[in-house]
Amino acid sequence: MYWSKAFIPTLKETPQEAESISHRLMLRSGLVRMLISGVYSYLPLGFRVLSKIENIIRQEMNACGAEEFLLSALQPEELWVKSGRDEEIGEVMFRFIDRRGRRLCLGPTHEEIVTDLIKNNVFSYRQLPLILYQIQVKFRDEIRPRFGLVRSCEFIMKDAYSFDLDQEGLNRNYKNMLEAYKRIFKRCGLDCLVIEADPGLMGGSLSHEFMVPAESGEDIVLRCQDCGISVSYLDEKLARCKKCNEKLEKLNTIEIGHIFQLGTKYSKIFQANVLNQQGSQSAIIMGCYGIGVSRLIPAILEQNNDANGITWPREVAPFEVVILPLEAGSSKIYETGENIYNDLRKSGLEVLFDDRQEQAGVKFKDADLIGLPLQVILGKNFIKSGKAEIKLRRNGYSSLVEPENIRQEISKLLS
RNA sequence: CGGGGAGUGGCUCAGUUUGGCUAGAGCGCUUGGUUUGGGACCAAGAGGUCGUGAGUUCAAGUCUCACCUCCCCGACCA
């Protein structure tokens, strides 16, 4: 991508609406813009990051044997009345009446919808186990939207649902999902805590939350300084670790994922049964598994930044490399930069070429701000030595490389 | 919803206390020129119903009332 043709509206100053680090960086680096409180548009850079995250999730979900589908965002209110969650969820759900007088809502989550679907289409234990997942926009009329994408009224969620004949099956799927979640968050460059949690509104028995320590986090987690075991602040009134009696440290965290063993809560209500081997009706055992996909962006930013801007983990960076031809007067520099650009792209890398007629300082500042993992700099050093400078955004490490060896050097650095 | 803060060109803000003439600055944007390794400089421009509506006054960005929006703290959640 040529920077001059891209829509990357970076901001030199911090918009007053932003308080948390991640929110500031999202606005300054041109990832998102607010439409109204709690509602954001993803600009090209933000959209790229989102796609990267979604693809990591897809890969790991598919590896678990989950199959992707897409449910409707528009839902009939009656399914919520049927499950009894209608009153519980209350005003958090956007509701309205259409021209035919039907009572509709915008889906805040999809247990009702998916259980209804399965009830009508799965009849035999032979069709189990089954795991379905979707990546979709959810709507919640939050009491107070906050910190940009951390708590918004329209957000993207990955929600998966597992269906098993028995508890053993659920345990297996649940464990696989838990491991998949760990891999997903690690690949996103996140250092996260896994805690046993209260199933709350979802119902069911066992549940785990995935929490990212971050200054602006809204949830407090207690972590044992010795064994590292973490517990929810709400659950635990004790001041010392149950296991090793060490002191617990208080951490502010952002919840990025939550998985639940639902058991038969929904299948019983909706009579989602299958015939088992004995030929009798058996309520399907369910699990559900959520990831706040759009929320991962601020979570990643909270953990990957420095004074100059973002330091993207490689797998979720909007591009992998930015090329900075400085010394605008030199056509040799520009041409060399363009050759490197084409060369790198041919090798499958995602590259941003800063062809703008800007001062070196502007290019450096913008490059650091948007935080792509690698910078290829062509300037004074190139004129002197004929070599390009390759610089790692994260730690500032840099080396001079012959233009023809750049591709090789970069693949080494990125691996 | 309760408590606190804020709305003035695209962005950051001054001006409001004590009402006064064509509403300012920096950044950004346009044109021309000089620059070119860390947001450079010179010149000339474009861009504003001062959040909205009523009111007070000879006169309102500034005073009064109502409303709207945004941010922060609390209950809620991925």
For residue A351, is pLDDT > 80? yes
Smallest Cα–Cα separation from A325: which of A317, A343, A337, A314? A337
Cα-Cα-Cα-Cα dihedral sign, residues A69, A73, A78, A82: positive
What is the percent of chain A with per-residue pLDDT over 90, rounded to a whole number? 83
Q: What is the Cα Rg of chain A in Å?
A: 25
Residue whose CA lies closest to nucleotide B13 C1': A16
Beta pairing, strands A39-42 & A74-76:
unpaired
Residue A367: nearest nucleotide (C-alpha to C1') = B38
* Rounded Cα–Cα distance for residues A316 and A311 (Å): 11
Say which DSSP state A405 is in.
G
pLDDT in tens, A123-157: 999 999 999 999 999 999 998 999 999 999 999 99
Which 8-state DSSP code applies to residue A395?
T
Q: Which of residues 301 to 320 on A have a Cβ less than 7 angstroms from any strand B atom?
A: 308
Quick one: which residue's CA is nearest to B78's C1'?
A292
Average pLDDT over residues A112-127: 98
> Which chain B positions come under 7 Å from a protein C-beta?
1-2, 6, 11-13, 26-28, 35-40, 69-78
pLDDT in tens, A149-199: 999 999 999 999 999 999 999 999 999 999 999 999 999 999 999 998 876
The DSSP string of A198-225 is: --GGG-SS-EEEEEEE-TT-SEEEEEET
Cα–Cα distance, A375 to A372 (Å, whole number): 7
Per the document, the length of chain A is: 415
How sure is the predictor about A237, in pLDDT bands with cuts at 50, 70 and 90?
low
Give yes or no for CB of A327 within 7 Å of strand B: yes
The tally of CA atoms less than 13 A away on the side-chain side of residue A369 is: 22
Name the pLDDT band for A328 (thresholds 50, 70, 90): low
CA A402 to mean position of chain CA atoms: 37
What value does the mean pLDDT take over residues A287-293? 97
A331 touches strand B (CB under 7 A): no
Q: What does the CA dihedral A139, A143, A144, A145 come to, rounded to 10 degrees? A: 0
Cα distance from N-terminal residue to C-terminal residue, chain A: 22
**Who among residues 384-403 of A has its Cβ near strand B, under 7 Å?**
389
Name the nt closest to A23 by C-alpha to C1'.
Answer: B71
pLDDT of residue A334: 92
What is the rounded average pLDDT of the residues A354-375?
96
Share of chain A above pLDDT 70, in %: 97
CA A262 – CA A291 distance, rounded (Å): 16
Rounded CA–C1' distance between A159 and B62, in angstroms: 54
> Among chain A residues 188 through 227, which have CB within 7 angstroms of nucleic chain B?
200-202, 210, 216, 218-219
pLDDT digit string (tens) for A20-66?
A: 999 999 999 999 999 999 999 999 999 999 999 999 999 999 999 99
CA A9 to C1' B9, whole Å: 18
Render pLDDT for A256-266 as a digit per residue (tens, 0 to 9).
999 999 999 99
Is A303 a residue whose pLDDT tops 60?
yes
Q: What number is the average pLDDT over the span A102-114?
A: 96
Read off the pLDDT of each residue in A200-221 and give the average, rounded to a whole number. Answer: 85
| Strand B proximal to A181 Cβ, under 7 A | no
* Protein residue at shortest CA distance from C1' of B1: A143
Domains along chain A with CATH numbers: 3-306 (3.30.930.10), 319-414 (3.40.50.800)
Give nearest nucleotide to A155 (CA–C1'): B78
Nearest nucleotide to A156, CA against C1' atoms = B78
Cα angle, residue A49 at apex, residues A44 and A52 outer, rounded to 5°:
125
User: Would the Cβ of A329 be found within 7 angstroms of any atom in strand B?
Assistant: yes
Indicate yes or no: strand B within 7 A of the C-beta of A24.
Answer: no
Residue A397 has pLDDT above 80, yes or no: yes
